[in-house]
Amino acid sequence: MAASGPSHVVVRCAIDEIAEFSGETEMPKYMKVFILQEIAKARQMEAMNDPDEYFDSLMDLGDSRRIGNEKPMGLNERIAKAEEEISTLEAHLEIMDAAINSE
């Protein structure tokens, strides 16, 4: 599926950046699917003639990305909380070890 116009340039740059970052030249299948979805969205938006429809699509896209970004943020918060709990447990273990060794 060959893209044309500005969406093609953006996709090519995105693929090049991913390859450079990962050090891999072979794109995983899920990434190909994601990129093709983004191309389809870009083409739909390029074909829109109604400014209200275009605006609504941009708002929906923004909402989708915001929701997608919230998921990792929640995961990061859980990881931080778990790391804090681990630190607390490690400190308790050190106290218990010190008490055992002092007997």
Q: 23-76: per-residue pLDDT in tens? A: 666 666 666 777 777 777 777 777 777 778 778 877 887 787 777 777 777 778
Any domain includes 7: yes
What's the CA gap between 33 and 61, in Å, rounded? Answer: 17
- Give the pTM: 0.36
Domain encompassing residue 42 = 1-47
State the pLDDT confidence band at 6, using cuts at 50, 70 and 90: low
| Predicted pLDDT at 5 | 53
Spatial neighbors of 61 by CB under 8 A, at least 6 apart, are 41
Any domain includes 15: yes
What's the CA gap between 27 and 15, in Å, rounded? Answer: 8
Any domain includes 34: yes
Any domain includes 60: no
Any domain includes 86: no
Any domain includes 39: yes
Domain count, the chain: 1
**Backbone phi, psi, residue 92, to 5°:** -65, -40
Q: Count each helix (H run) and each strand (E run) in the chain, helices first.
A: 3, 0
Any domain includes 17: yes
| Predicted pLDDT at 27 | 63
Let me know: does 39 contact 7? Beta carbons within 8 Å. Answer: yes
